[in-house]
Structure 1
Amino acid sequence: MKEDLFILALMVITVPLTGELKIHPFHDTFRISFATPIFLFFLLWMKKLPLFIPGLVVGFFVVAFRVALDFLIKGSFQLGPDFIFHFSAFFYYAAYSIIFCLVKANRLHQRPLLLGSIFVLIDIAASIIELFFRYYFLGNKFSVSTLGLIVIIAIIRSFFVLSFFNIIKLNEVRMTVKQHQEQNEHMLLLISSLYAESIQIKKSLKDAEDITRNCYDMYQDLQNPNYSLNPKDLAPKLLSIAGQVHEIKKDNQRLQAGLSKMISAENSTDYMDINKIGNIIIQTNEKYARSLGKDIKFILDINDYFPHLHIYTILSLINNLTSNSVESINDTGIIKISIHKKEELIEFEISDNGVGIPEKKRNLIFKPGYTTKYDVNGKPSTGMGLSYVKELINNLKGSITLENDCIENKTAFIIQLPIDNLIEKGW
């Protein structure tokens, strides 16, 4: 609507002015000017404003402008004669726009020949209406030859405007097609690049899984009181782990170099608004749930104001627990992430209505190596996720607790962390 009002304002200014670029083909007060092509051109661009309104408004301003111009030229003004001399022009623009609106001409842009013919008929009809009022009030007569000239002029200016309008629309379509083509090419390059990066990610994930398993095996050996530490046996294992870590490092360097080219030129930051971080977690886990064929509703509840928090710490903690919730739900369920402030602490609660955690296993879930997840080949997971989460929370001087509500079939992990340990220093 704002665009239409802007177009109407342009019509009010330009149509009266271009109406003065005129000829008098019948040697009387009836004029042919550039105002009609301008008026029609603007009507074609209107989308929401009722099309009879421009005719009424423009007709009024055309009459007012011509009366005012006569006053400036003559130095005097007589309401009756001067107004009657010009007011028939109002009926031309009013009739033109009313007929234009009734035939719904702006719905026929895809049929230019039909549209051009309609414009010719509208122009002829509006001109005849104006001539009738001039004949009735001013005594101007018109004949068959007059009508023939009106038809010729209507054909010329109607198809001229339509041609000019279609040229502009055609250029718009070409620009749009070009933009879509460039976007498609960019997307193809992006997808091909992401495909290559995904292979690198899979390799890094496998290396990381092997490292985690090897480290856990060493941890188990060292926990065994009967294990005798032999440096000759330990050195090759550590060297192998170091080599795998180095390989992951090189893979990540290649990934970072490739992905940095695809990311926009915005300055990255380590701190972000908690609402944006929460939305990233929701979007990521929605995709993860869909990849597992699960229909899960995610709820993000943030009621308090927080300064910008460290992105990677929050993602490491909450994303880990949220993905566990996704895995704990069989087919459909609800996961809620609540973030609140408690004095100098920030509290995260990640709850779900999945299968839950049995009471007898609640003391085991944070121990390294404990897992309930197995892959398609029956190979257990490393069981390091929750132990890593708890270790990170301890380093941040926070706490994590588990709550099971059998009545509501709800399992919730509650994390409390000092806000000062998550915000940028000097905030």
Structure 2
Amino acid sequence: MIIIREKLIAYLFMIIAVPIAGELKFYPFSGADLRVSMATTVFFFILLWSRKIHPVLAGFLTGIAVVLFRMSLDKLFNASFWLQDSFVSNFPVFFYYAVFAGLFHVFKIKELYSRPFLVGLLGVVIETISNSAEISIRHFTNEVQITTSNFLIIGGVAFIRTFFVLGFFNILILRETKLAEEQQRKRTEQILLLTSNLYVERVQLEKSAKNAEELTGACYKLYRELKDQNNQEQAQAMLKIAGELHEIKKDNQRIYAGLSKLMAKENLDDFMEIEEIIRVITHSNKSYGEILDKTIDYQVNISGEHPRYRTFVLLSLINNLVANAVEAIQQTGQIVLTIERENDMAKIRIHDNGCGISKKNKPFIFEPGFTTKFDTNGIASNGIGLAYIKNVIENIGGEIKLIDSTNTEGTTFDILLPVASLTQEELIK
């Protein structure tokens, strides 16, 4: 029903707009019974723009609408109105729109949008033939003279009018394409950031499953020892613990598999240039800073030769550190990202001039569960934390260091990552 309603609205708009536009006219050549109006311009543009209408039906309806509209104007403003004379005078214009729309459909103009110059040339041909059809009808009904100059004028006007419409149409198409590209870019960035965070969670799940497996083995070994000692009550308790740990491991494996499928389903580019990765990070964190009513200047310095790196790995690591820097800055500040190539290592430095890390917290920032972020109810943040980031980095053979952190100079983290680990097909087995 919605599609039918949209089609009806499109046809209704056309049969109203084109007749009215036809009255915006002028006669550019004295002595020639030729007028130039905006009707063709509007009609051609709607045929190009709307994908909800059929050209032939649109031409038929528009032709009738224009004839009836002009006859109505004759009735209103012509004191010596005669229905037959008015019809004979105006009905030839029906053939103009019918022929125009028919040729538009025959030439399959809507399938040629990727070749605008050809569309323009065909538009000139269509308008010229349509005008010729109308003039021929008028020649036999109203005794309008057909001259070579008339056809030259028709061709010239058709050329100017067609390419004017086509130019305006392509401007709108270009704008629409850019908007669509911008929306797609934003969506891709959001998915990239989401997937990068899922990557970190996947790493932690794998670690948790491995720990659960080791604990299951240790509990089962203790169960056997207790059983050999005829300590049945404690042995059964230990066996129950081993079974529950085994279930935890299986649950983690199922979640791990689900996350892996979800990441693969998006079919995103798993390798990107470092410049593009940093651009996604700075762009997303600019938006994050704006949400927090902060004004933050970003400086990016990239040097050395860098291959295409694993997208999710770097995004997950750098983005979380940059997001922490955004949160550490009060109202205004600066974040500097420096990426260098040192032999077989990629060195990444993230520096901010925010509030820094207090002296008493420095020894604990990489400890699991440590956080300085609490909500108004005193509940700790459930973000991935520096402990997770450190674990991911060390898992691929890298290291992270806190270089500077004072209340006046902010915070600086240095990350060293093996280039080989960032360029191989799979990091986690």
Task: Using structure 2 for the length normalisation, give the TM-score.
Answer: 0.51
Q: Which residue of 1 aligns with 2:84?
A: 80
Q: Which residue of 1 aligns with 2:187?
A: 183
Equivalent pairs counted in the alignment come to 250
Q: Which residue of 2 aligns with 1:134?
A: 138
Residues 51 and 228 of structure 1: CA distance in aligned 2, closer, same or farther (over 3 Å): closer
Q: Which residue of 1 aligns with 2:210?
A: 206
Confirm or deny: 8 A CA contact 1:92 1:130 kept in the other structure: yes
Which consecutive unaligned segments of at least 5 residues does structure 2 have?
A: 265-429
Greater Cα offset, 62-71 or 42-51: 42-51
Q: Which residue of 1 aligns with 2:19?
A: 16
Q: Distance in 2 between matches of 1:226 and 1:165?
A: 88
Confirm or deny: 8 A CA contact 1:4 1:47 kept in the other structure: no
SS of equivalent residue, structure 1 residue 159: helix
Q: Distance in 1 between matches of 2:175 and 2:133?
A: 36
Residue 197 of structure 2, aligned match among 193, 197, 201: 193
**AA at the equivalent of 1:19:** G
What is the deviation of 1:74? 3.2
Q: Distance in 2 between matches of 1:164 and 1:64?
A: 29
Q: Distance in 2 between matches of 1:135 and 1:28?
A: 14
1:352-367 equivalences in 2 (<5 Å) = none
SS of equivalent residue, structure 1 residue 148: helix
Residues 209 and 23 of structure 1: CA distance in aligned 2, closer, same or farther (over 3 Å): same
**AA at the equivalent of 2:19:** P
Residues 153 and 287 of structure 1: CA distance in aligned 2, closer, same or farther (over 3 Å): closer
Indicate whether 1:67 and 2:71 are aligned. Answer: yes
RMSD: 4.0
SS of equivalent residue, structure 2 residue 12: helix
Confirm or deny: 8 A CA contact 1:26 1:146 kept in the other structure: no
Q: Distance in 2 between matches of 1:180 and 1:286?
A: 23
Confirm or deny: 8 A CA contact 2:45 2:165 kept in the other structure: yes
Confirm or deny: 8 A CA contact 1:15 1:35 kept in the other structure: yes
Q: Distance in 1 between matches of 2:233 and 2:104?
A: 95
Confirm or deny: 8 A CA contact 1:59 1:93 kept in the other structure: yes
Residues 228 and 71 of structure 1: CA distance in aligned 2, closer, same or farther (over 3 Å): closer
Q: Distance in 1 between matches of 2:137 and 2:225?
A: 107
Q: Distance in 2 between matches of 1:229 and 1:159?
A: 91
Confirm or deny: 8 A CA contact 2:21 2:39 kept in the other structure: yes
SS of equivalent residue, structure 1 residue 47: coil
**AA at the equivalent of 1:173:** T
Q: Which residue of 1 aligns with 2:400?
A: none
1:13-162 equivalences in 2 (<5 Å) = 13-24=16-27, 25=29, 30-47=34-51, 49-74=53-78, 77-162=81-166
**AA at the equivalent of 1:18:** A
Q: Which residue of 2 aligns with 1:276?
A: none
**AA at the equivalent of 2:25:** K
What is the deviation of 1:148? 1.6
Alignment deviations for residues 59-104 of structure 1 (CA, whole Å, 9 cap, x no partner): 0001111111221223675220111111111111111111111111
Identical aligned residues as a percent? 37
What is the deviation of 1:30? 4.4
Structure with the greater alpha carbon radius of gyration:
1
Q: Distance in 2 between matches of 1:46 and 1:198?
A: 47
Confirm or deny: 8 A CA contact 2:10 2:53 kept in the other structure: no
Alignment deviations for residues 330-372 of structure 1 (CA, whole Å, 9 cap, x no partner): xxxxxxxxxxxxxxxxxxxxxxxxxxxxxxxxxxxxxxxxxxx
Which consecutive unaligned segments of at least 5 residues does structure 1 have?
A: 231-236, 249-254, 256-279, 291-427
Residues 80 and 228 of structure 1: CA distance in aligned 2, closer, same or farther (over 3 Å): closer
1:213-224 equivalences in 2 (<5 Å) = 213-218=217-222
**AA at the equivalent of 1:44:** L
Q: Which residue of 1 aligns with 2:391?
A: none
Q: Distance in 2 between matches of 1:285 and 1:151?
A: 63
Residues 229 and 133 of structure 1: CA distance in aligned 2, closer, same or farther (over 3 Å): closer
Q: Distance in 2 between matches of 1:94 and 1:134?
A: 15
